[in-house]
Amino acid sequence: MSEASTPGPDPIRIPEQVIRIVRRLEEAGYETWCVGGAIRDALLGGAGTDVDLATAAPPTVVRSLFRRTIAVGIEHGTVGVLDEQGVLHEVTTFRHDVVTDGRHAVVAFGASLEEDLARRDFTINAIAYHPVHDRWADPFDGRADLARRVVRAVGDPAQRFREDRLRILRALRFASRLDFAIDPATWAAAVAQSSDIAHLSAERVRDEWVKGLRTARDPAALLRLWHTSGVAASWVPELEAARLEQPAPVLEDRDPPLLTAFYCTPSASVWRRFKGSTAEIRRAAAIDAGPPTPPAADGESVRRWMHAVGEAVTDLTRLAQWRGTTAGGWDDEVAATVLRGDATTRGQLAITGNDLIRAGIVTPGPALGVLLDRLLEAVLTDPARNHAPQLLDRARDLVREPAP
Nearest residue to ligand ATP by CB is 37
| Cα gap 82→70, rounded to integer Å | 8
343-346 contacts, C-beta under 8 A, 24 or more apart: 343/376, 343/379, 343/380, 343/383, 343/386, 344/303, 344/306, 344/307, 344/380, 345/307, 345/310, 345/376, 346/372, 346/373, 346/376
121 binding ligand ATP? (CB under 6 A):
yes
Provide, rounded to whole angstroms, the least separation between the CB of residue 222 and ligand ATP. 13
167 binding ligand ATP? (CB under 6 A):
yes
Decide if 117 contacts 153 (C-beta within 8 A): no
Residue number, 204 or 374, with CB nearest to ligand ATP:
204
According to CB under 6 A, which one of 116, 145, 164, 342 is a site residue for ligand ATP? Answer: 164
16-55 residues near ligand ATP, rule: CB under 6 A: 36-37, 49
Indicate which of ligand ATP, Mg ion, none lies near residue 164 (CB less than 5 to 8 Å, by partner kind). ligand ATP
Residue number, 36 or 59, with CB nearest to Mg ion:
36
According to CB under 5 A, which one of 15, 37, 155, 249 is a site residue for Mg ion? Answer: 37
166 binding ligand ATP? (CB under 6 A):
yes
215 binding Mg ion? (CB under 5 A):
no
247-276 residues near ligand ATP, rule: CB under 6 A: none
Considering only the stretches 121-129, 264-272, 291-299, 363-371, report the one whose residues sit in contact with ligand ATP under the rule CB under 6 A.
121-129
Residue number, 121 or 238, with CB nearest to ligand ATP:
121
According to CB under 6 A, which one of 12, 51, 53, 120 is a site residue for ligand ATP? Answer: 120
Indicate which of ligand ATP, Mg ion, none lies near residue 167 (CB less than 5 to 8 Å, by partner kind). ligand ATP
Residue number, 126 or 281, with CB nearest to ligand ATP:
126
310-339 residues near ligand ATP, rule: CB under 6 A: none
Residue number, 37 or 299, with CB nearest to Mg ion:
37
Considering only the stretches 11-19, 135-143, 160-168, 239-247, report the one whose residues sit in contact with ligand ATP under the rule CB under 6 A.
160-168
Residue number, 92 or 317, with CB nearest to ligand ATP:
92
| Cα gap 226→41, rounded to integer Å | 24
Residue number, 89 or 120, with CB nearest to ligand ATP:
120
Residue number, 166 or 372, with CB nearest to ligand ATP:
166
Residue number, 37 or 256, with CB nearest to Mg ion:
37
Indicate which of ligand ATP, Mg ion, none lies near residue 230 (CB less than 5 to 8 Å, by partner kind). none
According to CB under 6 A, which one of 125, 193, 337, 344 is a site residue for ligand ATP? Answer: 125
Considering only the stretches 10-18, 68-76, 159-167, 223-231, report the one whose residues sit in contact with ligand ATP under the rule CB under 6 A.
159-167
89 binding ligand ATP? (CB under 6 A):
no
Spell out the SS3 assignment of the chain: CHHHCEECCCCCCCCHHHHHHHHHHHHCCCCEEEECHHHHHHHCCCCCCCCEEEECCCHHHHHHHCCCEEEEEHHHCEEEEECCCCCEEEEEECEEEEEECECCEEEEECCCHHHHHHCCCEHHHCCEEECCCCEEECCCCHHHHHHHCEECECCCHHHHHHHECHHHHHHHHHHHHHCCEECHHHHHHHHHCHHHHHHCCHHHHHHHHHHHHHHCCCHHHHHHHHHHHCHHHHHCCCECHHHHCCCCCCCCCCCHHHHHHHHECCCHHHHHHCCCCHHHHHHHHHHHHCCCCCCCCCHHHHHHHHHHHHHHHHHHHHHHHHHCCCHHHHHHHHHHHHHHCCCCCHHHCCCCHHHHHHCCCCCCCHHHHHHHHHHHHHHHHCHHHCCHHHHHHHHHHHHHCCCC
Residues near ligand ATP (CB under 6 A) are 36-37, 49, 120-121, 125-126, 164, 166-167
Residues near Mg ion (CB under 5 A) are 37
